[in-house]
Amino acid sequence: MTFTDMLMLLVVMFVLFLSFSEINSDSFKQNAGAISEAFNQVPSSSILPGYASVVDLSRSNINLERLGSQAGMNTIEENEKKTIDFAERKYEDDDLKEKEAYIKDYQREHRQEKLTFIKKQIDQKLKNDANEEKIKLIKKNINKKLKNDVNKGKLEIIERNKQVILRFPERVTFQSGSADLNENIKLVINRVRNIVKDSPELQKLVVTGHTDNVPIYNEFFSSNWELSAARAVSVVHSLLATSQIDEKLVMAVGSADTEPIMPNTNSVNRAANRRVEIKLEF
């Protein structure tokens, strides 16, 4: 074989290699024998003992259904699927971590809110207990300072939870059909004023006038509403006479005969219903 023949064979070989860049199984099978013969090799011969230099495509992992540009697409799709699966797993892992972090934050905030709530409850209970003790002392002080007036029948003291009601009967406070305070009751109201001004826990002071169900009509009042309201106002004026009580805490109310404490069936009961009450709310 001359040098020119050798060059020609090499050129033919490279041309065939180029044509194999897009694998065609039929073409490959047809040319495999020619290539083998060109190099003086039979198709079934082995480069190494026990290994064939050319393997039948049916025995390889080459997909015969995909030819030319489709060759190797299975591997690409598998790689893409692996990439997607990995990304999904990573997303799920990150999402799980985020959820766990959120749950931990929620639990921590919930515990903190619960502790804050419990602390507020404890503080409120301590405050309520302290207020109750103060109210007890105030009630005790009221009873002590007004004991003589109670014994003389000038007023009655009624305790209700955080309230103290001072009930004044009509016979000691006003003349029948009048809203002018008797002079002797003004001294009692002065003592009440001194008690109130020394009670910073006081939240409200309500003065309410009450009558019986007998209609009234005179030159001053045309109804029991006017009479009861006027009597309440007279007591308020007396309480505020020295500016020792905050006016914002005081209220005057006329109830006429709407809140009787006894049935208006006889003169004794009607006399009991004609009254003025000073309600102290703490």
Are 41 and 154 contained in the same domain? no
Contacts of 71 (CB under 8 A, 6+ apart): 22, 23, 62, 63
pLDDT value at 15 more than 60: yes
Which DSSP state fits 59?
G
Residue 10: inside a domain, yes or no?
A: yes
Last residue of a domain, which of 38, 55, 75? 75
Last residue of a domain, which of 75, 93, 118? 75
Which pLDDT score is estimated for 76? 66
Place of tokens 């006479």: 241
Give the domain range for residue 43: 3-75
Which DSSP state fits 260?
-
Counted domains in the chain: 2
Tens digits of residue pLDDT in 22-79:
555 666 566 666 666 665 554 444 445 554 555 555 555 555 555 454 555 566 667 7
pTM tops 0.75: no
Place of tokens 């000073």: 278
Are 166 and 41 contained in the same domain? no
Give the whole-number percent of the chain exceeding pLDDT 90: 43
Task: List the one residue out of 137, 218, 118 whose CA is nearest residue 176.
Answer: 218
Which uninterrupted H or E stretch holds 280? strand 275-281
Per the CB < 8 A criterion, the answer to whether 236 and 252 are in contact is yes
Are 190 and 277 contained in the same domain? yes
* Structure-model confidence comparison of residues 168 and 98, the more confident one: 168
Tens digits of residue pLDDT in 230-266:
999 999 999 999 888 999 999 999 999 999 999 999 9
pLDDT value at 275 more than 70: yes
Residue 118: inside a domain, yes or no?
A: no
Which pLDDT score is estimated for 175? 92
Tens digits of residue pLDDT in 160-218:
888 999 999 999 999 989 999 999 899 999 999 998 888 888 899 999 999 999 999 88
Which pLDDT score is estimated for 62? 53
* Structure-model confidence comparison of residues 145 and 217, the more confident one: 145
Which pLDDT score is estimated for 187? 92
- What's the CA gap between 23 and 31, in Å, rounded? 12
Residue 110: inside a domain, yes or no?
A: no
Are 158 and 271 contained in the same domain? yes
Are 64 and 154 contained in the same domain? no
User: Confidence class of residue 13 from pLDDT cuts 50, 70 and 90?
Assistant: confident
Which uninterrupted H or E stretch holds 6? helix 3-19
Give the CATH number, domain containing residue 163: 3.30.1330.60
Task: List the one residue out of 162, 160, 157, 158 whose CA is nearest residue 129.
Answer: 162
